[in-house]
């Protein structure tokens, strides 16, 4: 049986007293007309003396965050979604009966206040309470220093308490939807249509990742939670929608750390008759639009780096970037044995399926280059082995027309000139199955319906995917993905 603390028992007794007064301790509808920060901003510049000749009435509601009781008059601070505001409560203004009701109030209770705006001699905007309404009795006391808990994971497990106690968390929680709305407006103005595609699928396609498996009872069929959005969106290009995007949850059955969550928000966009260059222009414009319209600045702090989003952004090929750091020019190397020897000399370990030209180049990039790309950089020219859905480069078919966007040494976007040749695409899928036989658990399945769709003809197109969570980390200057997710996945308590 649950054991209550002394404070919890006292609060339950107070809830019963409120019930005995004929009121519901957990409240009813309340007609709020004003918000804390709006009031403070509106009256900030009005001198203290002018309030004596004003009778500006407001009605607010929120959670009590501070109480200072002084006999027949008290000060409290309440917090709504916009912030905190001070309230002055006097027995002379609300009467003895209501003031006795107020005496049952604790920090954490939710109340409604109707009153007159005033300013204290110290210059603080305050509401002089004329009507006090009890709304909700909090049966648990708020923690005194929740933001500073030694077990930082408690902030994420009990996000509701974190939002009450931590102003930074509330700020990020409200900024994230503003960022997403800005993206939607930007894409809509570019002529894109936002769509929704299935979460449940029978095939692993669109990315290299381990899936979550579920079961469809009616069909007695195992299914996957999607790992990407790509192939359904490209089917829509075949159908003639031409410019489509989706912002949706995807699920990858992999590790959890400060940069990864098993379920995360991905945005993918596809534009007919475009290419890699078009995707670069859309991406640079989108990031700069968010910076200007949501934040009003172009410089951000990210993992200790000062990031400047003003353009034009740097563009460099993967092989040139490797050559700059190591002196090795993989463009000139065509012999696999030479590549394997270089990998051994540089202490690069390879799985069996990675003993191929393209995988070795990618390993060199990850070891020597990736973390050095601090300012926004479009890295293009990926090997074909690590890009099964991308059109080959016409000048060198060992590579494909693909780029990744790196900021602060971390990937933010992945773009292709889309492969629309069904014959080539089927060969790529078959190569993925061969890699699976060699031990690549993240290789793609063959999607024959998608091959059929391509056989009807998909227009030349550019496509791109963005990790929305990491994008929000950059703009809100957070170093953990858990700080931009309201409910991150957490390990079970032991």
10-29 tens-digit pLDDT: 999 999 999 999 999 999 99
Number of domains within the chain: 2
Q: pLDDT at position 492, please?
A: 80
Phi and psi, residue 389, nearest 5°? -115, 20
Give, for 433, the enclosing helix (H) or strand (E): helix 422-437
pLDDT band at 150; cut points 50, 70, 90: very low
Place of tokens 């959005």: 229
For 296, half-sphere exposure in the C-beta direction (CA atoms, 13 angstrom radius) is 0
41 three-class SS? helix
End-to-end CA distance of the chain: 20
Residue 314's DSSP bridge partners are 377
Q: What is the pLDDT of residues 121-130, one digit of tens each?
A: 999 999 999 9
Question: Looking at the structure, do residues 95 and 241 belong to the same domain, yes or no?
Answer: no
Question: Looking at the structure, do residues 104 and 30 belong to the same domain, yes or no?
Answer: yes
Quick check: 147 pLDDT over 90? no
Mean of pLDDT over the chain: 93
Question: Looking at the structure, do residues 111 and 246 belong to the same domain, yes or no?
Answer: no
Question: Looking at the structure, do residues 235 and 307 belong to the same domain, yes or no?
Answer: yes
Query: By residue range, what is the domain housing residue 82?
Result: 6-142
Q: What is the pLDDT of residues 183-193, one digit of tens each?
A: 999 999 999 99
Question: Looking at the structure, do residues 279 and 138 belong to the same domain, yes or no?
Answer: no
Q: Is residue 51 part of a domain?
A: yes
pLDDT band at 172; cut points 50, 70, 90: very high
Q: Which spans in 112-191 are helix H?
A: 153-157, 159-165, 167-189
Q: pLDDT at position 436, please?
A: 77
Question: Looking at the structure, do residues 203 and 124 belong to the same domain, yes or no?
Answer: no
Q: What is the pLDDT of residues 314-326, one digit of tens each?
A: 999 999 999 999 9
Question: Looking at the structure, do residues 109 and 76 belong to the same domain, yes or no?
Answer: yes
Question: Looking at the structure, do residues 75 and 134 belong to the same domain, yes or no?
Answer: yes
List the structure tokens of 341: 């020897």
Q: Is residue 323 part of a domain?
A: no
Question: Looking at the structure, do residues 33 and 122 belong to the same domain, yes or no?
Answer: yes
Q: Is residue 424 part of a domain?
A: yes
Q: pLDDT at position 433, please?
A: 82
Question: Looking at the structure, do residues 55 and 124 belong to the same domain, yes or no?
Answer: yes
What global pTM score does this model have?
0.91
Q: Is residue 357 part of a domain?
A: no
For 299, half-sphere exposure in the C-beta direction (CA atoms, 13 angstrom radius) is 3
Q: Span 135-146, mean pLDDT?
A: 88
Q: Is residue 469 part of a domain?
A: yes
How far is the CA of 300 from the CAs of 132, 288, 351, 382, 412, in angstroms?
Answer: 44, 12, 38, 28, 15
Place of tokens 């227009």: 459
CA distance 292 to 295: 6
Q: What is the pLDDT of residues 424-474, one digit of tens each?
A: 999 988 888 888 788 777 777 889 999 999 999 999 999 999 999 999 999
Q: pLDDT at position 151, please?
A: 61
CA distance 471 to 476: 9
DSSP 449: H
CA distance 389 to 387: 6
Question: Looking at the structure, do residues 250 and 390 belong to the same domain, yes or no?
Answer: yes
């Amino acid at each position: 049986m649950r054991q209550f603390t002394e404070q919890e028992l006292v609060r339950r007794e107070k809830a019963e007293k409120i019930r005995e007064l004929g009121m519901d301790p957990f409240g009813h509808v309340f007609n709020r007309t004003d918000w804390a920060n709006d009031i403070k901003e509106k009256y900030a510049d009005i001198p203290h003396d002018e309030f004596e000749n004003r009778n500006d009435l407001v009605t607010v509601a929120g959670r009590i965050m501070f109480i200072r009781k002084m006999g027949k008059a008290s000060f409290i601070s309440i917090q709504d979604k916009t912030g905190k505001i001070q309230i002055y409560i006097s027995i002379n203004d609300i009467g003895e009966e209501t003031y006795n009701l107020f005496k049952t109030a604790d920090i954490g209770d939710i109340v409604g206040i109707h009153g007159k705006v005033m300013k204290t001699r110290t210059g603080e905007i305050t509401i002089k309470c004329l009507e006090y309404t009890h709304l909700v009795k909090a049966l648990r006391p708020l923690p005194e220093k929740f933001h500073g808990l030694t077990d930082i994971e408690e902030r994420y497990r009990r996000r509701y308490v974190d939002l009450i106690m931590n102003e930074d968390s509330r700020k990020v929680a409200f900024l994230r939807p503003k960022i997403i709305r800005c993206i939607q407006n930007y894409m809509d103005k570019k002529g894109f249509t936002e769509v929704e595609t299935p979460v449940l699928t029978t095939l692993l396609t669109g990315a290299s990742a381990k899936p979550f498996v579920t079961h469809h009872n009616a069909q007695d069929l195992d299914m996957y939670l999607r790992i990407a959005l790509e192939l359904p969106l490209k089917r829509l290009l075949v159908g003639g929608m031409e410019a489509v995007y989706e912002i949706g949850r995807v699920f990858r059955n992999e590790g959890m750390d400060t940069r990864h969550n098993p379920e995360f928000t991905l945005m993918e966009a596809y534009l007919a008759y475009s290419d890699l260059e078009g995707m670069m222009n859309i991406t640079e414009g989108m990031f700069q639009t968010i910076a200007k319209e949501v934040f009003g600045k172009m410089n951000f702090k990210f993992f200790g780096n000062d990031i400047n989003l003003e353009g034009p952004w740097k563009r460099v090929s993967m092989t040139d970037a490797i050559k700059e750091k190591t002196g090795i020019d993989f463009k000139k190397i065509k012999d696999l044995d030479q590549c394997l020897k270089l990998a051994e000399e540089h202490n690069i370990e390879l799985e069996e399926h990675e003993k191929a030209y393209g995988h070795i180049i990618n390993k060199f990039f990850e070891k020597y280059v990736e973390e050095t790309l601090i300012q926004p950089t479009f890295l293009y020219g990926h090997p074909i082995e690590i890009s099964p859905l991308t059109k080959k480069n016409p000048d060198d078919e060992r590579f494909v027309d693909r780029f990744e966007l790196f900021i602060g040494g971390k990937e933010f976007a992945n773009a292709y000139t889309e492969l629309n040749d069904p014959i080539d695409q089927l060969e790529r899928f078959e190569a993925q199955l061969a890699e699976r036989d060699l031990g690549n658990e993240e290789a793609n399945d063959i999607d024959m319906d998608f091959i059929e769709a391509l056989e009807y003809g998909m227009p030349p197109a550019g496509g791109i995917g963005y990790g929305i969570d990491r994008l929000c980390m950059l703009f809100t200057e957070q170093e953990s993905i858990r700080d931009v997710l309201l409910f991150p996945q957490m390990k079970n308590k032991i």
